[in-house]
Amino acid sequence: QVQLVESGGGLVQPGGSLRLSCAASGSIFSIRAMGWYRQAPGKERELGALITSGGSTNYADSVKGRFTISRDNAKNTVYLQMNSVKPEDTAFYYCVLNEQGSIYWGQGTQVTISS
């Protein structure tokens, strides 16, 4: 089994910054990709950002230029640096991991953008 533990959520004012972290542990042999999805109240879960084992990244159009995903392979940890945040970034953010084709989800962390 694989466990994902997210941290870094909270309340931030519009225009501010926040960094999310997700550490993976357990039966990890070959991670294909890690990333973040988010779900706002009343909306479907959507992609935020993904990073592959080779370092390729994929971002939702709504966060391009503002969010940066990175990964520490030695620590099996993925980060999401969120800059210039907007009220519409308010959501529950879920870490996701693709381990040899098996998908694992974290419990999520709440991010609220409000003045």
**pLDDT confidence of residue 85:** 98
First vs last C-alpha separation in the chain: 40
93 neighbors 85 (Cβ within 8 angstroms): no
CA distance 55 to 72: 10
Which DSSP letter does residue 27 get?
S
Distance CA 17, CA 6 (A): 17
Among 90, 89, 106, residue whose Cα is nearest residue 26 = 106
Summary mean pLDDT of the chain: 95
**What's the pLDDT tens digit per position in 31-43?**
899 999 999 999 9
**pLDDT (tens digit, 9 = 90+) per residue, 50-65?**
999 899 999 999 999 9
For 7-23, what is each residue's pLDDT tens digit?
999 999 999 999 999 99
The identity of residue 95, as a single letter, is: C
Per-residue pLDDT, 7 = 95
